[in-house]
Amino acid sequence: MPDEARLEQAESGLKPASEGWFVVNVGEAAWYEHEAFGSGASFESREFPFPDLGININALEPGQPLCLYHEENAQEDFIVLSGEAVLLVEGEERPLRAWDFVHCPGGTEHVIVGAGDGLSIVLAVGARPEDEHIRYPKSELAARHGASAEQETTNPQEAYARWERPQPKHPEYWNELPWS
Percent of the chain with pLDDT over 90: 97
pLDDT of 23 reads 96
Beta bridge partners of 136: 153
pLDDT in tens, 129-178: 999 999 999 999 999 999 999 999 999 999 999 999 999 999 999 999 99
pLDDT in tens, 63-95: 999 999 999 999 999 999 999 999 999 999 999
pLDDT of 164 reads 95
pLDDT of 180 reads 85
Query: What are the DSSP calls for 97-135, one per residue?
Result: ETT-EEEE-TT--EEEEEESSS-EEEEEEEE--TT--EE
pLDDT of 53 reads 96
Q: Is the pTM of this model over 0.75?
A: yes
pLDDT in tens, 104-141: 999 999 999 999 999 999 999 999 999 999 999 999 99
Distance CA 47, CA 73 (A): 25
pLDDT in tens, 29-57: 999 999 999 999 999 999 999 999 999 99
For residues 85 and 120, is the Cβ–Cβ distance under 8 A? yes
- Does residue 1 surpass a pLDDT of 80? no
Measuring CA to CA, which residue among 56, 42, 34 is closest to residue 12?
A: 42
Q: Residue 101 — very low, low, confident or very high, per pLDDT cuts 50/70/90?
A: very high
What is the chain's length?
A: 180
